[in-house]
Structure 1
Amino acid sequence: MRKLGVGTDGFTFPLVIRACALFGDSRLCRDVHSHVFQMGYQCHLHAVNELLVMYGKLGEMGDALKLFDRMLVRSHITWNAMVSGYALNYDCYGAFEMFFKMGLEGLEPNAVTWTSLFSSHARCGLYLETLQFYGEMRTKGIDATAEALAVVVSVCADLGALDMGEMIHGYVIKGGFENYLFVKNSLICMYGKQGAIRDAESLFSEMESKNIVSWNALMSSYVESGLCDEAFIVFSELENSMVRPNVISWSAVIDGFAAKGRGKESLELFRQMQLANISANSITISSILSVCAESSALGLGREIHGHVIRAIMDRNILVGNGLINMYTKCGSLNEALLVFGKIDGRDLVSWNLMIAGYGMHGLGNNALKTFEQMIKAGYRPDVITFIAVLSACSHAGLVAEGRNLFDEMTRDFGIEPQVEHYACIVDLLGRAGLLQEASDMVRSMPMEPNAYVWGALLNSCRMWKNTGVAEEIASWVFSLDSETTGSYMLVTNIYASTGRWEDYARVRVSAKTKGLKKIPGQSWIEVKKKVHMFSAWNAFEIGMEEVYEILRDLGLHMEVEGYLPDEICAKGCS
């Protein structure tokens, strides 16, 4: 049009500016801005308003504010563009300041302004403030828009405010907003997050038209409720519909199976996703890395790491933390440390994972050093940090250090010890043979000890063959309403180690009477890029003859060296 010599006007520029904003090319946008001023449209309200929207989408609110301050005439659209720009860039304080100034200049905020204001607070996680602003808007007699209702419903989902969400649902029906697809999708998400799966299903089934967000909302609802098979059924229906699954659809079902410990299905779905040419996002990769971590599939984890580097996702904090978790649980601490060192924007989770990783492998001093580095770097430890570092002290036998940390937790950081921290400190004292001090610690706890605390104390009694303390606490343990068999097994092991077979049989019968059954321990091994699982009495078949032969050789070597194999070793070699 310009080459043909056709002149532009105040209606042409807003369209061109909007197109530039969609491209997201900052230099192109500034060129058009310059052209607007060269052509003398710097005072044209429609053109300048569109420039404000453009800078908001580019994330350059400083330039938007300079432009705004120079404007002689402003409309509702002008103010709304600024409030919306701040909301889009997660600056709730900037949005509120602009909202406040608007009132001072005598211009009453409308429904769009209010929606942008509490949308900014919702984006920043200020959910209670969001509901407060919504209430103020309704008090002023301003009718809610469909966009406002969708924001408030999402906030109710994140807050766990099901009653409030149901009330908003009633307003949606009364106000005639049921046909707005994004409102219905928000309601499905809200009911799904609160576990009201039947309500989510009902809303989904009554929708005349569904988009990919609708399908993903229902799948996520099932995943939130731990119903991964139901989520997969919906996913299969989606594949056979007119709407095609996207990366969010795949990630939902992959994460669902991973969360339920069904790693095999997760990995198979991930392979199918790759065959479908769907690029994984950070959530997908994080789920798959968790599967690799839990199944100790180091080879596969390294392959995923390679994929992450090729996809330029290695700087993503969620992926980085997933890699640290995978490498530490697979025993490759050096690789975990390399990943940790390359994360630019480390968060508290990154530090916690490294501390826990060192502790898991008995490297207590490394865990303490990492904890100190974290403090020096300006990070404030949380509840999880102290569980990790106390556990590390326990596994490494660092009694003095563990005691100091337990005291510092409350004194220096204002964190009240929870039952998990007591379990760690009891385990620390018990492993060091300080059974009386550990027992006194349990009795002085401000909350009721749970099975993990008693289990830590019982395990120490087993290690030191102290039946006196064990019997003293056994009655407390057995009175707990727990479906776990760990404490029963520890007590029977203590009796067995001291030859008290009648007491051993009595406890076994008691556990059996309560319907408790020990879940057999399981191990994994990766052979030729395939993960195999095996357990006692259900051996890993491939190559077992070679394993037994090596065990028999080791048994002979032990006898030659003067060591007598114990009962467990004898069973393994037989």
Structure 2
Amino acid sequence: MLHTAASLRLESRRWFSIIPHQNDLLDVFDHLLQHCAKLHLLKQVHSQVIVSGFDNSAFLAARVISVYASFGLLSDAQNVFETTPVHCLSSSLLWNSILRVNVSYGCPEKALKLYVEMRKRGVLGDGFTFPLAIRACKLTGRFGFGRIVHNHVMQMGFQSNVHVVNEFIGMYAKMGRIDYSYKMFDKMRVRNHISWNSMVSGFALNHDCDGALEMFQRMELEGLEPNIVTWTSLLSSHARCGRLEDTIDLFDMMRMRGVRVSAEAIAVVLSVCADLVAFEKGMVIHGCVINCGFENFLFVKNALICMYGKHGDVKEAEKLFSEMKYKDIVSWNVLITSYAETGLCDEALAIFSQLENLDNGSMESPNVISWSAVIGAFASKGRGEESLYLFRKMQHAKVMANSVTISSVLSVCAELAALNIGREIHGYVVKALMDSSILVVNSLLNMYMKSGCLEKGRTLFERINRKDLISWNSMITGYGMNGLGEIAIAVFEQMIEAGFKPDGVTFISLLSACSHTGLVDEGRKLFDMMLKEFRFEPHMEHYACMVDLLGRAGLMQEASDIVKSMPIEPNACVWGALLNSCRMHKNTDVADALAFQIFRENTDSTGNFMLLSNIYAASGRWEDSARVRVSAKTKGLKKVVGQSWIEVKNKVHMFTSGKSMQSDLNDFCGILEELALQMESEGHRTDENIIAEDAEEETMLSTL
């Protein structure tokens, strides 16, 4: 029954006028405290408790503490505890009340300090104290403290208390000691649903779906029907282990058995549908959400947005988002990420800006996930300058970057060879104590190797305690792209000796290294090794690398034979590698043979058309050159403008073909001319003649 202020006052006056005994008055205060719906009423009743001399009651003090906490007034609750007379501190009821407040309202460390103080005062605790202390250990991850509390439980004889043991099962599972949980569970004489659910949930937390399933089946064998919590934990365990199809099968089985689904189970299955190519199933689950009335559950709506977003249906994702009456930061981040992962970085930034500019009193603002999503989106689309600008903006907003953010920004530094910015971020990583993250260290390694700082990269690599395949691949790629193919192969051999199995990226890096350093025999051996020793089926990129390797070495016939024998239809990369070899060796015969393939290409790139056109132009076949260009134009293809970057005084400058340079960079023209002369004097061929031919060709074509 709800009590208004007036009715509560009348009731209290009536009771005070007719109650003669102290114990009855104690019950009145307890009743009034439990029915205080407003803060000012609570304070009035509390004042009356003090005036009446009942503030020396441990029972009433415990009640006042819990009611203050229910209003979110933790400091007031703590003050009541601290001002309670000393003789009340011998009551476990009072201690349990303040422990429960701190555990329930996010202060588990404080709860553990109170537990220590309680023990020092000689209050040993009871069956209500220990579950609270154990939960505080679980929340803080204090394994050693948990073992101490376990000893206290054994000393006090509560090791058979089902509530205490259930808490221990959850605590040990959360701390990764599911073996301890299992031993305690196995010794239980009496178990309830919470005991079984704690074990299934524990296996789920430890990514052991087989253990969770075994416990689930054992529960059924012992005659206890799994409830929705059990099913949800089982679904969660399979989702965590990546057993996505099995998760959906279990969900279908649950529904076939007539178990009423929960919003939590729905959210788990929606997350699985988001990761699987199971869009139709996701839409069926969406129907289930509507039928079960879960549309207004915030976490369910967020899961739906994520599911549609991951399947590229950003319109439906935004529609769901716009329908939400209340949005939390997860809602915003899911929509931003949906656009980012679809490659729509401008749209992702637009949503991000809306979140940034909220002025309706909302407490939501971009967090590290929001920033990382937009920074990563621009980085993955090759818009590095914008990605770096957003990172600077994030720093000014005083949002601490995480490993994902740092990895994205370092990938931009690697692509732009922005070494100074990369070094600055390295310093940030060390200060933020992120240099133990393998994702961050691999990104640093990639950045240094691609920027030509091979010694720094090698030093960083040797300091990695637990190298993974990405670490090794970064070293191989770095040496290869810097013209050190033999060292790249040596690193590969070290990797094999260390027990790592190469993947497709490893062989692309190796074959590319051989191609750029003329190691034809080594490249052939590696390609054979990939097929015969590692049973790795070559992908398009591997064939393109082999064609490039052989073509650069002038072995045009062997390169052509590889293209003819490919088990898959060659794409533009393979034809481009062969065409580039034709250009290098002025082989118009092979180029003529490739012309038909180039003309029938279904691509958005003009690369191969321009290559073929340049080959014809170089041999004076202007009409053929023009025909290729006209064909590209007919297809609606436009030549991608050539770009390059240079970093000066911590700023990245971009050069674009056909546009005048900035006035402060004009001096670089003179430096480039000097470098060209030096290359020529050392016997290296420059591409000046090709540039001249291309200019002459453009003049010819303009007259057509």
- The alignment's TM-score, normalised by the length of structure 1, stands at 0.94
Equivalent residue letter for 2:295: E
2:476 corresponding residue in structure 1? 355
Deviations 1:474-514 (A, max 9, x none): 11112111221221222222223323333223323332333
* 1:136 matched to 2:238: no
1:534 corresponding residue in structure 2? 655
Equivalent residue letter for 2:209: C
Change (3 A) 1:564 1:349: closer
Partner-residue secondary structure (3-state), 1:208: coil
Deviation at 1:49, TM superposition (A): 0.4
Change (3 A) 1:533 1:552: closer
Q: 1:356·1:388 contact (CA, 8 Å) conserved in 2?
A: yes
Deviation at 1:435, TM superposition (A): 0.5
Deviation at 1:164, TM superposition (A): 0.4
Equivalent residue letter for 2:500: Y
1:320-359 maps to which residues of 2 (within 5 A)? 320-359=441-480
* 1:476 matched to 2:597: yes
- Aligned counterpart for 2:275 among listed residues 154, 158, 182: 158
Change (3 A) 1:60 1:421: same
Decide which moves more: 10-19 or 434-443: 10-19
Equivalent residue letter for 2:600: S
Change (3 A) 1:550 1:57: closer
* 1:44 matched to 2:161: yes
Q: 2:548·2:577 contact (CA, 8 Å) conserved in 1?
A: yes
1:120 corresponding residue in structure 2? 237
1:446 corresponding residue in structure 2? 567
Equivalent residue letter for 1:332: C
1:504 corresponding residue in structure 2? 625
1:173-184 maps to which residues of 2 (within 5 A)? 173-184=290-301
Deviations 1:83-141 (A, max 9, x none): 11121122223222322332333323222112112211111211112112222222222
Partner-residue secondary structure (3-state), 1:9: coil
Deviation at 1:553, TM superposition (A): 5.4
Q: 1:485·1:511 contact (CA, 8 Å) conserved in 2?
A: yes
* 1:217 matched to 2:334: yes
2:532 corresponding residue in structure 1? 411
1:387 corresponding residue in structure 2? 508
Partner-residue secondary structure (3-state), 1:331: coil
- Aligned counterpart for 2:134 among listed residues 6, 17, 42: 17
Deviations 1:204-245 (A, max 9, x none): 111111111111111111112222222222222222331122
Change (3 A) 1:452 1:230: same
Change (3 A) 1:34 1:551: closer
Equivalent residue letter for 1:20: C
1:109 corresponding residue in structure 2? 226
1:238 corresponding residue in structure 2? 355
Equivalent residue letter for 1:383: G
Deviation at 1:354, TM superposition (A): 2.0
2:177 corresponding residue in structure 1? 60
2:213 corresponding residue in structure 1? 96
2:48 corresponding residue in structure 1? none
Change (3 A) 1:496 1:445: same
Deviations 1:248-298 (A, max 9, x none): 111112112222222222222222222222111111111111111121101
* 1:402 matched to 2:519: no
* 1:69 matched to 2:186: yes
Deviations 1:157-199 (A, max 9, x none): 0002110001001111111111211111111100000011111
Change (3 A) 1:110 1:550: closer
Q: Distance in 1 between matches of 2:501 and 2:324?
A: 47
Decide which moves more: 278-287 or 85-94: 85-94
Gapped runs of 5+ residues in structure 1? none
Q: Distance in 2 between matches of 1:558 and 1:393?
A: 23
Partner-residue secondary structure (3-state), 1:346: coil
Equivalent residue letter for 1:120: S
Q: 2:599·2:631 contact (CA, 8 Å) conserved in 1?
A: no
Q: Distance in 2 between matches of 1:236 and 1:509?
A: 43
Partner-residue secondary structure (3-state), 2:653: strand
Q: Computing the radius of gyration over CA atoms, which structure comes out larger, 1 or 2?
A: 2
Partner-residue secondary structure (3-state), 1:524: strand
Partner-residue secondary structure (3-state), 1:280: coil
Change (3 A) 1:551 1:113: closer
Q: CA RMSD in A?
A: 2.4
- Aligned counterpart for 2:199 among listed residues 79, 82, 85: 82
Deviation at 1:385, TM superposition (A): 2.0
Q: Distance in 1 between matches of 2:419 and 2:269?
A: 44
Change (3 A) 1:563 1:421: closer
1:303-318 maps to which residues of 2 (within 5 A)? 303-318=424-439
Decide which moves more: 18-27 or 544-553: 544-553
Q: Distance in 2 between matches of 1:170 and 1:19?
A: 40
Q: Distance in 2 between matches of 1:559 and 1:252?
A: 47
Change (3 A) 1:553 1:383: closer
Equivalent residue letter for 2:212: A
Q: Which has the higher contact order (CA 8 A, sep 6+)?
A: 1
Q: Distance in 2 between matches of 1:329 and 1:530?
A: 18
How many corresponding residue pairs? 573
Q: Distance in 2 between matches of 1:439 and 1:522?
A: 31
Deviation at 1:405, TM superposition (A): 2.0
2:22 corresponding residue in structure 1? none
- Aligned counterpart for 1:262 among listed residues 383, 391, 394: 383
- The alignment's TM-score, normalised by the length of structure 2, stands at 0.77
Q: Distance in 1 between matches of 2:683 and 2:342?
A: 57
Deviations 1:289-342 (A, max 9, x none): 111112110100011111111111112121122112212221222222222222
Partner-residue secondary structure (3-state), 1:232: helix
Decide which moves more: 492-501 or 73-82: 492-501
